């Protein structure tokens, strides 16, 4: 082959390689540009996707927690409400149905000749029924119409509890206002004594109350229960802690307007304490409505005993009446709790911060 042909072949081959290289470089530049644009988009979209993913995970976790907490709350609610529901449902059953369902539990114990206790079983198992086979109102007619002793015990409870609740709140408001307005070492010592007495078990103060009632010659009267209840320390402690949160600016503003101590107490402090007063009233009512030890020790006359004491003495042969009386006994506490639920559970009252 001649030299000219070789040079032509080399030139053409060089041209081809240069053209291919230029084309490949252009393509690679385009690909690099496209890749950089995609990477930029990914870099821009990545945080947003991460946020969305995190939000979804957080929502799933919150949903799982809510479902779990709802399930646990439902289990506790059912377990707490089941005795109340069973009592109300069984109060509408006849005596024969109650005996057939709960004969194992409520049947009388018999004393054997060897000093042992034996049971005469009516059935081998207990049937818990929420719906009676046949609704029977005979228990309520017996309690409300044929047996006045049940209503007498009910009104004994009302006569004891209502004065205690009213006057305890009145005394507690006055004591709490004095502890809030006039602070000194002596008053702090007295308040500490209130707290110490409040933390003592009830059985510790029962004997001194009995001795004082005997000394005042009010033993075996309703005053032996009412007077210690009026001066109970719990309501004083609760209202004092709340009143001390009232800003001094409100009291100073009332003083600048010419208000005296009674006007500050009645028109500033008491209106701000409506929530705690309602809470104290509910707690005091429920506490003394269920009292058993005080009447048993202070009142020797059974005709003055409240219904809470009488419930434990109902004959086992009158189990149906026991269910009806227990249902009637629960009605006032349930109504008061439902009425004051917002104050007691959620604490819904006028906030001092909003009024200031």
- Give CA–CA dist 88/73, Å, rounded: 22
DSSP label of 110? E
Domain encompassing residue 148? 143-355
Q: How many domains does the chain have?
A: 1
| Window from 26-35, 130-139, 278-287, 307-316 with minimum mean pLDDT | 26-35
Model confidence pLDDT, tens digit, residues 116-171: 444 444 445 666 777 777 888 888 888 787 777 888 888 899 999 999 999 999 99
Whole-number pLDDT of residue 40: 53
Q: Is 105 within a domain?
A: no
- Give CA–CA dist 267/274, Å, rounded: 12
- Give CA–CA dist 121/102, Å, rounded: 10
Q: Is 169 within a domain?
A: yes
**Residues in contact with 204: Cβ distance below 8 Å, sequence separation at least 6, in sequence order:** none
Q: Is 188 within a domain?
A: yes
Q: Is 85 within a domain?
A: no
Whole-number pLDDT of residue 349: 44
Q: Is 87 within a domain?
A: no
The length of the chain in residues reads: 356
Q: What's the pTM value of the predicted model, to 2 decimals?
A: 0.70
pLDDT band at 344 (very low <50, low <70, confident <90, very high): low
Q: Is 81 within a domain?
A: no
- Is 50 exceeded by the pLDDT of residue 337? yes
Whole-number pLDDT of residue 15: 46
Q: Is 310 within a domain?
A: yes
Dihedrals φ, ψ of 111, to 5°? Answer: -90, 125
| Window from 111-120, 168-177, 235-244, 255-264 with minimum mean pLDDT | 111-120
Helix axes 148-181, 319-339, angle to 10 degrees: 30
Question: Distance from CA of residue 120 to its chain's centroid?
Answer: 41
Model confidence pLDDT, tens digit, residues 11-48: 444 444 545 544 455 545 455 455 555 555 555 555 66
Higher pLDDT: 20 or 218? It is: 218
- Is 70 exceeded by the pLDDT of residue 96? yes
Question: Mean pLDDT throughout 206-212?
Answer: 88
Q: Is 250 within a domain?
A: yes
In CATH, what number is assigned to the domain containing residue 163?
1.10.3720.10
- Between the alpha carbon of residue 18 and those of residues 14, 26, 28, the distances in Å are 6, 12, 15
DSSP assignments along 143-185, one per residue: IIII-HHHHHHHHHHHHHHHHHHHHHHHHHHHHHHHHHHS--H
């Amino acid at each position: 082959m001649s030299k000219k042909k070789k040079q032509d072949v080399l030139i053409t081959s060089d041209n081809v390689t240069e053209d291919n290289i230029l084309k490949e470089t252009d393509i690679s530049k385009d690909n690099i540009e496209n890749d950089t644009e995609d990477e930029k988009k990914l870099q821009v979209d990545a945080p947003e996707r991460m946020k969305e993913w995190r939000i979804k995970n957080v929502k799933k976790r919150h949903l799982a927690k809510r479902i779990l907490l709802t399930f646990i709350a439902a289990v506790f609610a059912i377990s707490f409400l089941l005795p109340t529901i069973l009592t109300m449902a069984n109060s509408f059953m006849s005596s024969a149905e109650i005996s057939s369902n709960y004969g194992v539990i409520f049947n009388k114990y018999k004393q054997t000749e060897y000093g042992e206790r034996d049971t005469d079983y009516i059935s081998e198992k207990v049937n818990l029924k929420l719906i009676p086979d046949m609704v029977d109102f005979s228990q309520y007619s017996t309690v409300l119409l044929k047996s006045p002793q049940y209503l007498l015990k009910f009104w004994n409870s009302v006569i004891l509890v209502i004065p205690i609740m009213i006057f305890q709140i009145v005394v507690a408001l006055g004591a709490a206002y004095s502890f809030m307005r006039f602070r000194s070492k002596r008053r702090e010592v007295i308040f500490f004594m209130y707290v110490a007495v409040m933390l003592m078990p009830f059985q510790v103060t029962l004997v001194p109350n009995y001795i004082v009632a005997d000394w005042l010659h009010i033993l075996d009267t309703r005053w032996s229960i009412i007077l210690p209840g009026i001066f109970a320390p719990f309501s004083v402690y609760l209202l004092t802690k709340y009143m001390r949160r009232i800003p001094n600016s409100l009291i100073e503003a009332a003083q600048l307007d010419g208000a005296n101590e009674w006007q500050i107490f009645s028109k500033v402090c008491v209106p701000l304490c409506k929530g705690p007063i309602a809470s104290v009233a509910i707690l005091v009512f429920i506490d003394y409505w269920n009292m058993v030890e005080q009447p048993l020790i202070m009142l020797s006359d059974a005709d003055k005993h409240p219904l809470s004491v009488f419930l434990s003495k109902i004959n086992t042969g009158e189990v149906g009446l026991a269910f009806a009386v227990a249902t009637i006994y629960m009605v006032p506490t349930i109504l008061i709790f439902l009425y004051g639920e917002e104050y007691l559970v959620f604490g819904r009252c006028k906030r001092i911060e909003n009024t200031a």
